[in-house]
Amino acid sequence: MGANIIDGKAFATNVRRQIANQVQRLCDDHGITPGLAVILVGEDPASEVYVAAKHKQTVEVGMASFEHKLPADTSQEDLFALIDQLNSDPAVHGILCQFPVPDHLSERNVVARIDPAKDVDGLSVVNAGLLASGETGLVSCTPLGCLMLLRDQIGNMSGKEAVVIGRSNLFGKPMAQLLLQEDCTVTIAHSRTADLSAVARRADILVAAVGRAEMVKGNWIKPGATVIDVGITRIPHPEKPGKSRLLGDVAYHEALDVAAAVTPVPGGVGPMTIACLLANTLTACQRANGLEEIKDLTA
């Protein structure tokens, strides 16, 4: 049990504290309050929980939170009208539409409608392109959170072997881009990769994001590696009938014996996501007002 356990919850609390200080300063020095608008279409119970958590943390760091709950049968036209209005509202610096949206709406079109400078989820085509072009944009929250944890854990990542398992638009691809920006040698492995365990074993930095419980075994991990586990799978609890528990993509207890540092599930990467959403909102607000942004809170 040698590995350092990366406490994402404590780290996220620190990030939020740092954001709260910045928000206070923006208010004192410039009379500006960063604002985050969250749109929820329909009544998905899981989405309601996420939106409530986002609202609570937004208010806690001193930002303005604008919630827009729309009925499930909202037309694309009406949704776009709301997005247009938020795009031009100077009190709103970040806009996110909680996914999934009902079937008659296209997530891609919804994201494309949001002003890229306010796309705090970093999912628009323009922001993906800016990241891939090494330019300033807004970076998807979960990869940004992983980057912060890695910087804290490792410091300079230049020349390290990094392997990202999973090539999703939401996570794998932006994560790979961020690691390239840090001058890691990056391999993106996925379901079609011939010998996944051998590829994983090369990694000084191993990031798993496929959503298959405990797929990454202890013998997939290079001794001394830093392991970031982004997967979350809910399984029935083995001892408590009717209860469930969460598992990551990494066989956690095996990893503890081999790796230098591991993120647990839950309590590792998860708490970083909302913290990074707030970080992006702060950054978007600072950019919108021509103020200096905080390096620690951006890519």
Partner 1 sequence: MNAPLEDPRLLRGKPVKDRILGEVADYVRSVPHIGKLVSVSIGDVPEVAIYIRNQARAAEAVGLPFDQQFWDGETAQEECKLRIQEMNDDPDVLGVILQRPVPSHINVRSLQSAIHPLKDIEGMSPASIGNIVYNDVAMAPCTAASAVELIRETGLNMEGLEVVMVGHSEIVGKPAAMMLMAEGATVTVCHHMTRSVAMHSRRADVVVVAVGKAHLIGADMIKPGAAVIDIGINQVRHEDGTVGIVGDVDTEAIKEIAGWVSPVPGGVGPVTVAILMRNAIKAHQRQQEAGWLNI
The SS3 call for residue 293 is coil
Angle at 23 between CA 22 and CA 29, to 5 degrees: 85
Tokens 């930095």, residue?
A: 205
Q: How many whole angstroms separate alpha carbon 45 and alpha carbon 223?
A: 42
Please check whether residue 276 is in contact with residue 57, taking contact to mean a CB–CB distance below 8 angstroms: no
Q: Show Cβ contacts of residue 43 under 8 Å, excluding neighbours closer than 6 positions.
A: 72
| 232: contact with partner 1 by CB under 8 A | no
Q: Show Cβ contacts of residue 263 under 8 Å, excluding neighbours closer than 6 positions.
A: 5, 6, 8, 149, 227, 228, 229, 248, 269
Using the minimum distance from each CB to partner 1, give the nearer residue, 83 or 128.
Answer: 128
Using the minimum distance from each CB to partner 1, give the nearer residue, 192 or 243.
Answer: 192
In this chain, which of 90, 192, 238, 242 binds partner 1, going by CB under 8 A? 192
List the one residue out of 75, 68, 73, 81 whose CA is nearest residue 40: 68
In this chain, which of 83, 105, 186, 275 binds partner 1, going by CB under 8 A? 186
Residue type, 74: T
> Of 22, 119, 121, 222, which residue is the catalytic one?
121
| 140: contact with partner 1 by CB under 8 A | no
Residue type, 78: D
| 169: contact with partner 1 by CB under 8 A | yes
Active site residue 54: yes
| 159: contact with partner 1 by CB under 8 A | yes
Active site residue 118: no
In this chain, which of 28, 29, 77, 135 binds partner 1, going by CB under 8 A? 135
Using the minimum distance from each CB to partner 1, give the nearer residue, 67 or 161.
Answer: 161
| 288: contact with partner 1 by CB under 8 A | no
Q: How many whole angstroms separate alpha carbon 92 and alpha carbon 15?
A: 21
CB of 184 to partner 1, least distance (A): 8
Beta strand extents in 42-179 (DSSP E only): 64-70, 94-97, 161-165
Q: How many whole angstroms separate alpha carbon 248 and alpha carbon 229?
A: 6
In this chain, which of 17, 25, 56, 190 binds partner 1, going by CB under 8 A? 190
| 154: contact with partner 1 by CB under 8 A | no
| 188: contact with partner 1 by CB under 8 A | yes
| 142: contact with partner 1 by CB under 8 A | no
| 52: contact with partner 1 by CB under 8 A | no
> Of 22, 54, 177, 286, which residue is the catalytic one?
54
CB of 91 to partner 1, least distance (A): 27
The angle, 0 to 180 degrees and rounded to 10, between the axes of the packed helices 125-132 and 172-181 is: 30
CB of 66 to partner 1, least distance (A): 27
CB of 292 to partner 1, least distance (A): 21
Please check whether residue 279 is in contact with residue 259, taking contact to mean a CB–CB distance below 8 angstroms: no
Active site residue 121: yes
Q: How many whole angstroms separate alpha carbon 267 and alpha carbon 7?
A: 7
| 185: contact with partner 1 by CB under 8 A | yes
Binding residues for partner 1, per CB under 8 A? 124-135, 137, 158-159, 161, 167, 169, 173, 176-177, 180, 183-190, 192-194, 199
**Which residues are catalytic, by number?**
54, 98, 121
